Amino acid sequence: MKLSLTSVKYAAFASQETSCFEAIVLIDGKKAIHVSNDGHGGCDMHRDIIPGSAEKVEAYAKTLPKQAYDSDPFINYQPTLDTLVGDLLDEHLSLKDMRRALKKCVHFKAGEKILKFQSVKFTSANSDIINQNILKKFQDAVILNSIPEGEALKIWMKGN
């Protein structure tokens, strides 16, 4: 089962204890569940677009391995529809932030940190020169602007 989000509306200013958002969950590319949260704490609200979709995703989530909390890796939890949607929302927001940041300047991973060249905007015309200059100084550098977006997002989410 491939889950994704579309029609995401996120309100950072209204997010207090939880993320304030509204989105459509796609199951294998088809609109299946309208999900939202008012941002004041508590679970997400779900409304099936295709009847039985929420139950189908909950059943799917129970087949997934338990996951560790970022804040405490010794505590594990069983994924649910809410946690899967939360992960998709985090990915959506991180992708948006990363795209915005990569348009402004060059970002690269050196060691465990993500660093940036403030004064240089990455273009196809200057990419080779930038890559050479960064790799001279940081031999293990991975330049996020020059790798596929999916790979860059994984690095971006770990580093931010």
Q: Which residue in the block uniquely carries the two structure tokens 């809410």? A: 82
Rounded to whole angstroms, the Cα distance separating 69 from 20 reads 21
Q: Is the pTM of this model over 0.75?
A: yes
pLDDT tens by residue, 28-47: 999 999 999 999 999 999 99
CB 141 within 8 A of CB 110: yes
- Residues 68, 75: contact at Cβ < 8 Å? yes
Q: What is the pLDDT of residues 39-85, one digit of tens each?
A: 999 999 999 999 999 999 999 999 999 988 776 777 888 999 999 99
Query: Do residues 143 and 130 touch, judged by C-beta distance below 8 A?
Result: yes
What are the domain boundaries of the chain? 3-96, 105-159
Q: Among candidates 23, 32, 26, which has minimal Cα distance to 51?
A: 32
